[in-house]
Amino acid sequence: MRINSQQLDNILQTVLENTGTDLTGYRRPTLSRRLAERLTCLELNPDQYLSICRAEPGHGTTFKLYLPRCVDVGAPAATAEAPSEPPRGSETVLLVEDEKSIRITVQIFLEDLGYTVLVAENPEEALNVAAEHDGEIDLLITDVIMPGMNGRDLANRLLELRPALEYLFISGFTADVIAQRGILDDSVRFLSKPFGRDTLARKLREVLDP
């Protein structure tokens, strides 16, 4: 399912996390069924929400629930304001994301904002792309948890090749969970998934225009 940036702005995200081991014994269908039972009590059907479960043995479970924003049809209409344009850029970005749907969506966001995008689906491919690219690479956007090498180690490897490279980490896990695992610290540039185009646009300028 593809969700565009306008739809993301009208979605409420609720995150349930357990950092112990008591939830990792459940299979995803069991967790999804139990959540569906609770939502049925709230008169929500499966067409009205999207849930994503991510569990790792020994690290607990992150369960994300996306609900549509409720609009009060009885409230007086507010004066419509023209939305402000998100900040754009022209830099070259190396995007590293192992989940295809997210990789494609973020690439669309970046190209729509004016950036030149180099894409890799894993850290090894990212290192090859960086080594073979003749021009500048201004920014690395990388997932944190990936097979073979985490995002922090990838950034360190790329900085050896390109010392001026800036970087932005993204993850479906929250920043505090990532920090607890010792992969990232509180001072790094981090953006939690999911995010819309405008949120990404503002974060990019924070990183590239310190």
* 3 state DSSP class of 159: helix
pLDDT of residue 17: 63
In angstroms, rounded to a whole number, what is the distance separating the alpha carbons of residues 201 and 183? 25
Beta strands in 113-176 (DSSP E): 116-120, 139-143, 166-171
| pLDDT higher than threshold 80 for residue 158 | yes
For a pLDDT cut of 90, what percent of the chain falls above it? 48
Angle (CA) 95-13-62 rounded to 5° is 75
Cβ contact 61:173 at 8 Å: no
Q: Give one word for 117, left, alpha or beta, with left for phi > 0 and alpha for psi -120 to 50.
A: beta
Q: Which one is predicted more confidently, 125 or 65?
A: 125
Q: Using CA atoms, how far apart are residues 151 and 167, in angstroms rounded to an integer?
A: 10
Tokens matching residue 179: 């920090």
Q: Residue 24 pLDDT > 50, yes or no?
A: no
**Strand order of the sheet with strand 166-171?**
116-120, 92-96, 139-143, 166-171, 190-192
Q: What is the pTM of this model?
A: 0.62
Instruction: Please tell me the distance from the alpha carbon of residue 35 to that of residue 204, in angstroms, as a whole number.
Output: 35
Instruction: Tell which residue, 81, 123, 128, 99, has the closest CA to residue 194.
Output: 99
Token pair in block for residue 20: 């112990």
How many CB atoms sit inside 10 A of residue 9's CB? 13
Residue 14 pLDDT > 80: no
pLDDT top residue among 7 and 205? 205
> What ranges do the domains of the chain cover?
5-68, 92-208
Query: 92-208 adopts what CATH topology?
Result: Rossmann fold (3.40.50)
